[in-house]
Structure 1
Amino acid sequence: MPDLRALALGAGAWVGALLVLVLPGRPALALVLLGAVVGAGLVARGIVAPGWLGPLAALVAVAGVAALQQTLVATSPLAALAGDGAVVDLRLEITSDVRTVAGQYGDLQVAEADVSRVEGRGSAWSLDAPVVLMADADWPRVPLGTTIETTARLVPGDDEVAALVRPTGEPRVVAEPDVWWDAAAAVRRSVRAAVAGRDADARELVPALVVGDDGGLDPALADDFRTTGLTHLLAVSGTNLTLVVGFLLVLGRWCGVRGRWLRLLAAAGIVGFVVTARAEPSVVRAAAMGTVALVGMGSNGRSRGTRGLGVAVLGLLLLWPRLATTAGFALSVLATAGILLLAPVWRDAMLHWMPRWVAEAVSIPLAAQVACTPVVAALSGQVSLVAVAANLLAAPAVAPATVLGLGGGLAGLVWSPAGVAVAAPAAWSAQWIIAVARWGADVPGAAVDWGTGPVPLILLTLACVASVPLAPRVLRRPGSALACTGLLVVVMLVRPPSPGWPPAGWVLVACDVGQGDGLVLRAGLHAGVVVDAGPDPAAMDACLDRLEIAEVPLLVLTHFHADHVDGVAGVLEGREVGAVEGTGLLEPVDGVRDVGDALGRDPGLAAYGSTRTVGEVTLQVVWPRPGMRIDPDESAPNDASVVLLAEVGGVRILLTGDVEPSAQAALARDLAGLRVDVLKVPHHGSRHQDLDWLTSLGARVAVVSVGAENDYGHPAPDLLAALDAAGVRTWRTDTSGDVVVVVREGEVGVVARD
């Protein structure tokens, strides 16, 4: 039987962390103290058994640690200096791998770090404070574990870190990484080298399976993994550790290791896995959940596993209370709980009519999926219908891909050809997993749009809770189980209609692609001219699917920032794409390269002054003008955006890319007296605008393509107020979803798909 008190211990710890992290400081602490007093009073009166004081103590302890950490960060000298934008001298240790992210004005190197000394404003402090390092792309790349000194400007960060560090000087290495970091880096390099000669996707998937190193994975393939519920394979998860340490234990038993030495071998395997995968909170969390899974596989596994899960949650949150608010933590805990609590019951129900190994193969992914479905839906707005089938099909290949991938890396440290030979089956297994992900994503009803509002999520959660007692009754009988399976297959294979979508008379759609631009002009039946592809291939592909676009005769990329081009693979997915054109300024270089890789060719040039007709669309390129001068205080790629004047169904539309004030002023001179019906607001509604020009265009409708809760403050209130004062009705994708401009009986209107 499961130990409910142990689970309550973990639940209490989780609630304690959430109270402090989600609620304002004093109300949260007041609730914690009130709960402690009430709980102690109930125990003292004998209403509640003393054994249940454990969850209450866990709640108070974790809440206290979370509050203490918040206070230490908020009162750190770094926070005060960051508030003043001070330039200081720092000594810091890099505590995560450096990753490259797209910034507003180019790529940035981002890494986590701990500051041990800061000197500035005439004072110096020795401390231990977490920060995020954000350096320009050309700043020297610093390996994990290196201690450096540098000069930097401090910028306020969020509640998790004392400051954001923007280096203004070169790094000076004080201490090289410790030997274990060098050894871990060598293993990671060797894993990659062992599969370097394989198919491009396989050679990226194997390192992802082994140590969660998915940095080079094709974004379109990553989207397929999300659609099919296989995303857990791409990140460091308990599955990775379970497979690696489980294989190590089997190998140890084969070699005669027994008793305490076997437990020491398991402990060494866990430590080695954590170091190789990087000892970050997410990795330690995955290792803890994997250890719980290993315990659950032993004798009396259900009882011991639930006790281990409760203790693991408590221990992790005492160390890192902020894990309580992360999706990875929630998914790991829920999946592990589902496997421990639900899978055995559902397996036993199916044992009445199927072999044990088949019942276990079905019950484990089914239980994990049901437990995680509400959280996955809250994150993605979708419910995957192929997740269980995809996990069943992929499962036989996961173990060889993971274990032999790591084995190839270790063997490659001794002799490279041996590493290649050992890792070959890992690459073959990875190719099978890739095939499963692509097959599942291509199923017409692979995922159902669900929404992320409170009502749909509550309904989904209630449905999952209801499935707990109902599932054994359905699974116990072959007739009911097969009938449900058949119904699911029919739902997946037959794409449900979208009544009233796309709306009649549509001429322009601003797709809800997050913080970026993804625009579609109607070129004919099932055809559209696409202008920019947004940051997310899946979101762009889904929008085009909703519009029933099968042909893209022209794709225009206004410039090469990630929020406009990273979704190109989504445009290409299953569609006939004709000409692809873009701006002549080939910056940033990474964006240009990624577009070329996705297309298999370089995009052409959108020639200034050219006018053409593409189906029902008439397009004129009105910017960038040859020889234009760019304000040095503005972003060159933004100001070099392709600006298009389009006409569809008698509606004049100005598509402005991300042009900034100086380019807008030049356009105002070049296009004096221009009048349009619809304006695509430049740069996602940034506050940097030529408001006089934008409000002079006579537009009846303005569209802002912007991501919800973005970090840039887009769209700016002053811009929205100016457009409103000019009589322009503004629609935003962050609040309205897909924004569709329609023309009916000569009148321009808007239909939103929120």
Structure 2
Amino acid sequence: MRSDDRTASPDGRWQWLDLRLVPAAGAVWAVSLTAPFLAPWLLAAGAVAALCAAACLRRRRTVAATVLLAVLAAVAVTCGTSAVRGAAREASPLRGPADAHRAVEVDLRLDGDPHLLTGSGRPRIVADATVTALHEEEHVRRLDAAVLLFAPEEGWRRLLPGQPVRARVVAAPPRSGDDVVAVLSARGPPSVVGRPDAWQRIAGGLRDGLAEAAARRLDERPAGLLPGLVVGDTRGMDPVLVEDFRRAGLSHLTAVSGANVAIVIAAVLWPLRRRAVDRRVQAAVAALALVCFVVLARPEPSVLRAAAMGAVTLLALASGRARVAVPALATAVCVLLHLDPGLAWDPGFALSVIATAAIVLLAPTWSRRLRERGWPPLVADALAVSAAAGLATAPLVAALSATVSLVSLPANLLAAPAVAPATVLGLLATIAGSVSTPAGDLLVWCAGWPTRWLVLVAERAARLPDAAPGWPAGPLGAALLALLLTTAGWVLWRFRRLRPLAVAALTGLVLIGWPVRQAVRGWPLPDTVVVACDVGQGDALVLPTGTAGEAVLVDAGPDVAAVDRCLEALGIERLPLVLLSHLDADHVGGLIGALDGRVVGTVATGALSPADDRLPTVDALIRRAGAERIRLLPGDRREAGAVVLEVLAPEPERATAGAEANDLSLVVRATVRGVRVLLTGDLGAEAEARLRTSGVDLRADVLKVPHHGSADADPGFLTVTGARAALISVGGDNTYGHPAHTLLETLARAGMRVHRTDQQGDLAVVGSADEWGVAARGPGP
């Protein structure tokens, strides 16, 4: 018996499960993880030590020695290449300006599509780039330095990868462990100094053509999904739909992955195999198609790792040897990590490797067992593949997202029949549309039907109660879920008599336990006055109007998913009034998640600075929701059911071009069943003191603490409110030091009981003027 394992197939033949390359792949991954944190000389020493150890073993002929030699060779090569990369980074001419945080002029090219960021101020993008020249006074220094680029959307968003541009940027050193020379921040648009390669221009034109055809022929959501599903172009994706796909466990469909590569290769090989074409010709044609697809979809990490697995498979086909999946996967891991060591820290890479390993190791056996019990082959294969990939990746997904999707398996089974038709038709539409617009539009219309089905599955699955319950994040959460799944799997495998009992228990939970939980879940609580949603580092407050499914919303937090999750948990379907205290991203970044799919009446802001260029974007979102925007001024009064709102600030004369957005926060006192809640946005100490001395009545029972508990606060303002409870909406991972210790002491001296979303989750003030209190739902994802 060799060191590799072997199992018997149903026809009695032996099949080898060769694991000898797995330790080498693990060694490459481990070194790639740690290399960015080690000095080049230390890595070089590690390479020399590994070579010396290998020399001592070179005469051994045992299987164990062979495996160990492969591991030592992997360590030596990875340490050596990492040392060279590290030395090159430290010696780069760009390192000096970065350490000094200097502004410099550089020539650079983007390495991939820029990704749009949400943030306060103008929309910005982030992109991987390579600096090719550094302009210093009269000298130009040629270099090849990988950087991370932040820039305004204007002038940068539409650039093609490989486009040479020149820009004035501020250089800064990277964080420890980052595999780049510097982080660059551009303040303005670039100057174009050349053209991208012809293949990049052709690929960009094809991608734009598909997106334009989809926008012409399909509704908004399918139109955004189709280019993402086919070629990885997610520029038109609806952020709420992206969240629905994540909650449904279908997020792998919103970007190019191994499924796309498998579909492309299968579509190309199918007619060749039917005609018994020579396997080497099949491999050559499929390889050409794979290269073209990578160019079209952009050489992003997800595309490259999928293409690498496809290339290894095609090599096996061309050589005529039986495909050995585990060595192919190990080889792909080693090759990809040597080409791009940054993949070692990429969660998508880890998910891809784990899912592929589970599919090749577990799915065939599971599918065979299902077929033996009478399941149709297609259904058995789909169920086995989805279950194997889903269960294997669940611990890592839980660690990253702090959720566990309970609807992932059925959602993937329902989505599976539509993925291949949508992908193939979309690719044909991309090619045909470049020749004939009507032909491309017809194929897009055809691809729209399976794409609509995918949208429907994601929307319905994500909207199910408890579709993605919270789970501990990080390594502890991953280990806990892995232990739970492993234990349950071992028990069911070891004790067969428990299997019917497990099926009965699962059926009972779905048919009885789940509906009962929805009836007694206890949230929202009766007589809720206001809920401070746990949306991280931002504000989102909900005031139920007393009518079922209706509430006033004050701010929408920084994240589409978080505010939507909070409103969904409260059962809110109608928002007759939405107040935006100001337009910073931590208060309006999630606005589309709050408005989308809900009936919205009016959206109100206070007096805004005429220099605030974020208003057009917000207005576009409001119009998309079918609502209108109004401006509220001090003295205005609004009522929505049981909610009475009094506007206290800001005065319109303070909305000058130089005014701080925080100090122009809309300040409102809400009264619900006699309980007064003072909503203060992100006021700073100067604005608080000015409001306190203006004579405005600031008395309240509950204070929404300004600016997430910033130390920039006026103690007199906090005290004069007379509040007995203070709500602080703050993110647990914020880097601002919120809430400040000095502010917490001030609130305590004023007799307020402090409640924080980072520690307690969603916070609800419940009751009436006669008797009220604060309840916490518990920390969420």
The answer to whether 1:370 aligns with 2:391 is yes
Residues 686 and 131 of structure 1: CA distance in aligned 2, closer, same or farther (over 3 Å): farther
> Is the Cα contact below 8 Å between 2:40 and 2:82 reproduced in 1?
no
* CA distances 1:64-113 after superposition (whole Å, capped 9, x unpaired): 54565455445544343233331211111122223332222231133321
The answer to whether 1:241 aligns with 2:257 is no
Q: Which residue of the partner structure matches residue 433 of structure 2?
A: 412
In 2, distance between residues paired with 1:74 and 1:726? 53
Among residues 530, 541, 552, which one is paired with 1:529 in the alignment? Answer: 552
Deviation for aligned residue 1:709: 3.1
Q: Which residue of the partner structure matches residue 203 of structure 2?
A: 184
Deviation for aligned residue 1:399: 0.6
How many residue pairs get aligned? The number is 751
Amino acid at match of 2:409: V
Q: Which residue of the partner structure matches residue 738 of structure 1?
A: 762
The answer to whether 1:344 aligns with 2:369 is no
Instruction: Map 1:580-595 to 2 at 5 A.
Output: 580-583=603-606, 585=608, 587-589=613-615, 591-595=617-621
Deviation for aligned residue 1:43: 6.3
Range with bigger deviation, 526-535 or 498-507: 498-507
Deviation for aligned residue 1:580: 3.7
- Quote the sequence identity (%): 40
Range with bigger deviation, 505-514 or 28-37: 28-37
Q: Which residue of the partner structure matches residue 292 of structure 2?
A: 272
RMSD: 4.0
Helix, strand or coil at the partner of 2:434: helix
Residues 425 and 575 of structure 1: CA distance in aligned 2, closer, same or farther (over 3 Å): closer
Q: Which residue of the partner structure matches residue 243 of structure 2?
A: 223
Deviation for aligned residue 1:488: 6.3
> Is the Cα contact below 8 Å between 1:32 and 1:60 reproduced in 2?
yes
> Is the Cα contact below 8 Å between 1:445 and 1:491 reproduced in 2?
no
> Is the Cα contact below 8 Å between 2:606 and 2:665 reproduced in 1?
yes
Instruction: Map 1:446-465 to 2 at 5 A.
Output: 446-452=467-473, 455-465=476-486
In 2, distance between residues paired with 1:191 and 1:655? 46
Deviation for aligned residue 1:177: 0.5
> Is the Cα contact below 8 Å between 1:565 and 1:591 reproduced in 2?
no
The answer to whether 1:421 aligns with 2:442 is yes
Q: Which residue of the partner structure matches residue 623 of structure 1?
A: 649
Amino acid at match of 2:283: R
Instruction: Map 1:43-122 to 2 at 5 A.
Output: 48-59=64-75, 61-63=77-79, 65-66=81-82, 69-70=85-86, 72-73=88-89, 76-120=92-136
> Is the Cα contact below 8 Å between 2:317 and 2:323 reproduced in 1?
no
Amino acid at match of 1:751: A
Helix, strand or coil at the partner of 1:4: coil
The answer to whether 1:329 aligns with 2:349 is yes
Instruction: Map 1:570-719 to 2 at 5 A.
Output: 570-572=593-595, 578-583=601-606, 585=608, 587-589=613-615, 591-630=617-656, 632=658, 634-635=660-661, 638-648=662-672, 650-660=674-684, 663-664=687-688, 666-671=690-695, 674-685=698-709, 693-694=717-718, 697=721, 699-710=723-734
Deviation for aligned residue 1:532: 1.5
Q: Which residue of the partner structure matches residue 135 of structure 1?
A: 151
Residues 231 and 695 of structure 1: CA distance in aligned 2, closer, same or farther (over 3 Å): same
Show structure 1 runs of 5+ residues with no match.
none
> Is the Cα contact below 8 Å between 1:20 and 1:28 reproduced in 2?
no
Deviation for aligned residue 1:258: 2.8
Instruction: Map 1:456-605 to 2 at 5 A.
Output: 456-466=477-487, 469=490, 483=504, 486-487=507-508, 489-490=510-511, 494=515, 496-497=517-518, 501-502=523-524, 507-524=529-546, 528-549=551-572, 552-572=575-595, 578-583=601-606, 585=608, 587-589=613-615, 591-605=617-631
> Is the Cα contact below 8 Å between 1:205 and 1:234 reproduced in 2?
yes
> Is the Cα contact below 8 Å between 2:543 and 2:552 reproduced in 1?
yes
Deviation for aligned residue 1:521: 2.8
Helix, strand or coil at the partner of 1:402: helix
Q: Which residue of the partner structure matches residue 152 of structure 1?
A: 169
> Is the Cα contact below 8 Å between 2:110 and 2:127 reproduced in 1?
yes
Amino acid at match of 1:348: R
Among residues 438, 453, 475, which one is paired with 1:432 in the alignment? Answer: 453
Deviation for aligned residue 1:619: 1.8
In 1, distance between residues paired with 2:530 and 2:41? 48
Helix, strand or coil at the partner of 1:191: helix
In 1, distance between residues paired with 2:483 and 2:312? 27
Show structure 2 runs of 5+ residues with no match.
1-15
In 2, distance between residues paired with 1:501 and 1:42? 67
Residues 129 and 732 of structure 1: CA distance in aligned 2, closer, same or farther (over 3 Å): farther
Instruction: Map 1:313-324 to 2 at 5 A.
Output: 313-324=333-344
Deviation for aligned residue 1:741: 4.4
> Is the Cα contact below 8 Å between 2:147 and 2:184 reproduced in 1?
yes
Residues 184 and 661 of structure 1: CA distance in aligned 2, closer, same or farther (over 3 Å): farther
In 1, distance between residues paired with 2:137 and 2:685? 36
Q: Which residue of the partner structure matches residue 329 of structure 2?
A: 309
In 2, distance between residues paired with 1:716 and 1:132? 32
In 1, distance between residues paired with 2:174 and 2:737? 15
Residues 19 and 260 of structure 1: CA distance in aligned 2, closer, same or farther (over 3 Å): same
Deviation for aligned residue 1:256: 6.8
Length-normalised TM-score, structure 2: 0.85
Helix, strand or coil at the partner of 1:109: strand
Range with bigger deviation, 183-192 or 255-264: 255-264
The answer to whether 1:753 aligns with 2:766 is no
The answer to whether 1:390 aligns with 2:411 is yes
In 1, distance between residues paired with 2:638 and 2:116? 38
Range with bigger deviation, 74-83 or 474-483: 474-483
Range with bigger deviation, 110-119 or 685-694: 685-694
Deviation for aligned residue 1:311: 0.7
Q: Which residue of the partner structure matches residue 29 of structure 2?
A: 14
Residues 364 and 140 of structure 1: CA distance in aligned 2, closer, same or farther (over 3 Å): closer
In 2, distance between residues paired with 1:100 and 1:47? 51
Residues 595 and 51 of structure 1: CA distance in aligned 2, closer, same or farther (over 3 Å): same
Amino acid at match of 2:170: R
> Is the Cα contact below 8 Å between 2:399 and 2:475 reproduced in 1?
no
Deviation for aligned residue 1:633: 6.8
Amino acid at match of 1:271: V
Helix, strand or coil at the partner of 2:270: helix
Deviation for aligned residue 1:13: 2.0
Deviation for aligned residue 1:235: 1.1
In 2, distance between residues paired with 1:685 and 1:179? 53
Helix, strand or coil at the partner of 1:5: coil
Residues 502 and 455 of structure 1: CA distance in aligned 2, closer, same or farther (over 3 Å): farther
Length-normalised TM-score, structure 1: 0.87
> Is the Cα contact below 8 Å between 1:339 and 1:368 reproduced in 2?
yes
Amino acid at match of 1:516: G
In 2, distance between residues paired with 1:726 and 1:297? 76
